[in-house]
Structure 1
Amino acid sequence: MFGKKEELNSVKDRVETIIGKNAEFQGKIISSGVLKIDGTMEGEIESESDIIISEGSKVKAQIKANNAVIAGEYQGNIFLKGKLYIKTSGKVIGDVKVEGIIVEEGAEFNGKCEMIRTENG
């Protein structure tokens, strides 16, 4: 996933849950579908699918998910079965454990990265 621009756009089309730009959320979210955060969130996120943290958003949490796209500010640890994609506007502070990572030029990443292998990898 996230190997091609078309794949990234298809994830946006499958978003099931959105925390709006003017919303603030504290607590734990458990989701089976794609979660998009446009606002502010603090707590824990568990998803069987993907997480999108939009440009302008601020998230302080622990994430367990399939894949993640970060274009906003994120602080916390990330555990993914798949890939972490940090966009140019993204800022990640924390440790990550992922199968793959893509960091665009201009993005910020401050933490430790541990690469994992899936059974098929």
Structure 2
Amino acid sequence: MAWINKDKQDGKRQAGQSEGTEMENLESTAPREGNEEINAFVGKGVSFKGVISYNGTVRIDGNLDGEIHTEGVLLVGEDAVLTAKITAGTVVCKGKITGDISAREKVKLRAPAVVNAGVKAPLLAMEEGVVFNGTLEMSQSGSREPQGQGSTRGQGVKLVNG
């Protein structure tokens, strides 16, 4: 399995490393959500079929067919192709996703993402240039939900130009 565990890497060059290493190049193009450390990585050209469960942040640039379950962050790189049922805290996507996405916190779709999915999340941000075909269900979570209200549709959508 082509997972790269980053427990001992912090994204900074070690003494003696040449500039522009492959890992730095991959990280520089990563769809980032704050400054979280990437705990594992599925590289471009890698195909994975099955169920992934994890804590923390995982970046996928390869092909995945199956399911992803986490309370953490899923970063989907521009070269990634996922056919999956995704349950996550936050999903940040620049690649292709077909399936269902359920996010506890938010979903961010960044160009040139192509998403053919049913999305369920309290917050959705979508850049210009994203292709989205599917359904969207937005409901406020936890204590933020007003008394007496169930599903909220159309609130919390953020469309970003350029």
Structure with bigger RCO (C-alpha 8 Å, 6+ apart) = 1
Q: TM-score, with normalisation over the residues of structure 2?
A: 0.67
Deviations 1:27-60 (A, max 9, x none): 0000011111011110000012010110011110
Alignment of 1:105-116 (within 5 A): 105-116=128-139
CA distance in 2, matches of 1:20, 1:94: 23
CA distance in 2, matches of 1:54, 1:31: 18
Alignment of 1:1-121 (within 5 A): 8-11=33-36, 14-121=37-144
CA distance in 2, matches of 1:116, 1:23: 35
CA distance in 1, matches of 2:60, 2:139: 26
CA distance in 1, matches of 2:34, 2:89: 16
Deviations 1:72-118 (A, max 9, x none): 01101001101100001101101011010001001011111000211
Deviation at 1:22, TM superposition (A): 1.9
Write the letter of the residue equivalent to 1:100.
L
Gaps of 5+ in 1: 1-6
Aligned to 1:26, what secondary structure does the other structure show?
strand
- Large movers: runs of 4+ above 4 Å: none
CA distance in 1, matches of 2:111, 2:59: 18
Q: Give the aligned length.
A: 113
Gaps of 5+ in 2: 1-31, 145-162
Aligned to 2:97, what secondary structure does the other structure show?
strand
Identical amino acids, percent of aligned pairs? 29
